[in-house]
Amino acid sequence: MPVQPGGFVSSSTVTARRMSAAALAAAAIVGAVALPASAADHARPQRPKVEISAVQYDAPGREDRSRRSLNREWVELTNTTRRTVNLDGWTLRNEHGDTYTFHHYRLEGRATVRIHTGYGHDTDSDLYQDRNDQVWDNYSDTATLRNDHDRFIDDESWGGRHHRGGGHGGGHHGGGEHRHGDIRH
C-alpha cells in the first residue's frame, strides 16, 4: 500500500483494494456456481436403450415348418426410452450366424416389436424374417442384437451351457427384469 507522507494510508487506496478483492471474490463464486451448470450442459446424452425383452424359441405345437409354426417362433425387442430409435441396419443373430437385418424400421418410444421367423406382412408391431426353417435352437442358443455400427446392444441365451436352472425353460424367456447377460425364465 502506498504510504502518504507522515505514515498515513490513503483511504481511496484502501477502498480501491477492498473493491478489487470483493470483485475477485464475486467472480470466484460465480465461476464456481457456473462451472457445474456448464459441465452439465456438455454431459453425454443418454443413448437409446433397446433390449431383447422376450424370446419364444420353441414354437408351441407341432414344428412342421408351416407358416403358422415358423411365426410362433419369435424375438421381442422393446424400446425402454421415450424417443424413437432408428433400427435401420441393426442385426439380430443366432449362434450359428443366421442374421436378420432391419431395413427402414423405426421403433417408437416405449414400444415393442416382435420379429417372427416365418413369412408375413411387416407392421409396426410385427416383423417377419421370411425364412423357411426355424432359426432359434430349442435347446441352446443366443439371440444377439447389434446396432448399425456392429456394436453389441443386448443378448439373450437359453438352454444347455447357458441355462442356470433345470430343463430348457418351456421354450419362452421374458417378462421379468432383464439386464445384459441375465437369463430369463
Per-residue pLDDT band for 156 (boundaries 50, 70, 90) equals very high
Coil, strand or helix at 127 = strand
Residue 185: predicted pLDDT: 32
Q: Give pLDDT, residue 55.
A: 98
pLDDT at 19: 53
pLDDT recorded at residue 15:
52
The string of pLDDT tens digits covering residues 4-21 is: 454 444 445 445 555 555
Q: Percent of the chain, pLDDT > 70?
A: 61
pLDDT at res. 25: 53
Show Cβ contacts of residue 64 under 8 Å, excluding neighbours closer than 6 positions: none
Which amino acid type is present at position 66? S
- Residues 54 and 39: their CA atoms lie apart, in Å, by 38
pLDDT of residue 63: 87
Going from the C-alpha of 33 to that of each of 27, 40, 43, 184, the distances in angstroms are 10, 12, 16, 46
Please say whether the dihedral angle defined by the alpha carbons of residues 95, 96, 98 and 101, taken in this order, is positive or negative. positive
φ, ψ at 3 (rounded to 5°):
-100, 130
What topology is assigned to 50-174 in CATH?
Immunoglobulin-like (2.60.40)
Residue pLDDT, tens place only, 56-84: 999 998 889 899 999 999 999 999 999 99
**Do 141 and 95 contact (CB within 8 A), yes or no?**
yes
**Whether pLDDT at 179 is above 90:** no
Greater model confidence, 180 or 88: 88
**Where do the domains of the chain lie?**
3-41, 50-174
> Using a CB cutoff of 8 Å and minimum separation of 24, what contacts does 175-179 make?
175/54, 178/51, 178/52, 178/53
Confidence band (pLDDT; 50, 70, 90) for 27?
A: low
Residue 173 CB: number of other CB atoms within 10 A?
Answer: 26
Average pLDDT of 82-88?
97
